[in-house]
A and B are shown apart, each in its own frame.
Chain A
């Protein structure tokens, strides 16, 4: 494993050369991620690794892509989607517009799951979904709405476990080993780059989802990100986190009530 001091040096180099601040990421997992790419790319000396990062912007891009964890799936945690469907969407249904923000959307599986729920609730046409991530490469993939066919069986099962009643295969066209989701979904989506470390609020939303992103941040950055979400959420709007993340430690938590013990909180004031 790389040394703590080496990690701190790398954080400083990245900040100095590219302005990106990994300093508030969870140290233990950041260290594993950096060590992983260091080994993967066969470096012998840390100084070689650092000078490659300094001198090659393309390599820096690869570094960021490899450090950030992009693991995701459709209808991940089915019980969470059940709450969205049964509790959250019905309470938003009366609004003239529904604005949703997926922060840290990765390759988009979560965003398409949301679009499917909206369609089934007859809300898709008045919804607009903003989906953001720092990683431009995953956003390119997310825009396409194309996922590997070998994964679809699991996704269809998650969908059914979340209470989905329709034939999942109606939502995509299968071809050459991939599933392309229908354009009516992507038409309601706007993808753009947004960095939770340094970028601010860009709209007001009725529902914000940031799942399995905060676990990679230290407590200070978690607090900053949650404050950003709070400032971007309308009163009576909802904030959703990942299955092992919590609002409990956040300073704004007393403005929120948790919905049915799931990882969804409603903003009361």
Chain B
């Protein structure tokens, strides 16, 4: 029942990952188009102490602007936003981000499920969710919801993932629209109109 979708318009692209996803991200970032027509949000699991270093690392690697995420910053297309550690990242009407320090979800804060679900609520079919390598079930439920709301979901090809559990789990329970290698993910993102 594979249906072929045209790579359409997205307001937000969210990329979620856990163990083994940072190196994938480091491959993706330098190859992205400079003028992205959407806001690019990154939600990675990591230790709470690594905030600044992750931001700097991503900034260094990417051609796209990295904006510091604080509560109620405006999402602007063409920028990268990184979920800060120890906060869930949520989306509000009028393109604001808001942060929430409530309980961990799937042992994680930020949780990928939380951001995926919140993006789907606000942006409906204009969300692209991408799930990379990881050892945790986080992301699967959020992907289901993006799909229900008409958005598009991609899982990293588990064969190419250092820790395949997370994309495998999503493939099993959320039926992604695409299962792609890292190179294919880059092409997909760059072909978004």
Contacts and interface: CB of A to CB of B under 8 A. Distances in A.
Interface of A: 1, 26-29, 31-33, 69, 71, 212, 214-216, 218-219, 222, 244-246, 248-249
Nearest to B121: A1
Contact of A71 (B69, B92, B103, B145): B103
A39 B82 CA distance: 30
Given A27-B93, A28-B90, A28-B91, A69 B70 contact: no
- Among B71, B87, B99, B121: residue with most chain A CB under 10 A: B71
B96 A219 contact: yes
Interface of B: 69-72, 84, 87-88, 90-93, 96, 98-103, 114, 117-118, 121-122, 145
A212 B88 CA distance: 13
A69 B102 CA distance: 6
Given A27-B93, A29-B90, A214-B71, A244 B99 contact: yes
A245 B91 contact: no
Given A32-B114, A215-B71, A69 B92 contact: no
Nearest to B49: A161
A82 to B, nearest CB: 15
A1 B103 CA distance: 17
B98 A26 contact: yes
Contacts of B84: 244
A48 B68 CA distance: 43
B147 to A, nearest CB: 15
Contacts of A27: 92-93
Contact of B72 (A1, A31, A69, A219): A219
B96 A29 contact: no
Nearest to A219: B72
15 contacts: A1-B117, A1-B121, A28-B91, A28-B92, A28-B100, A29-B88, A31-B121, A32-B90, A33-B102, A71-B102, A71-B103, A215-B87, A215-B99, A215-B101, A245-B71
Given A214-B71, A219-B72, A244-B84, A69 B121 contact: no
B101 A69 contact: yes
Given A212-B101, A246-B70, 10 more contacts: A1-B145, A28-B90, A28-B98, A28-B121, A32-B100, A69-B101, A215-B101, A219-B96, A244-B71, A244-B99
Contacts of A29: 88, 90, 98, 100, 102
Nearest to B117: A1
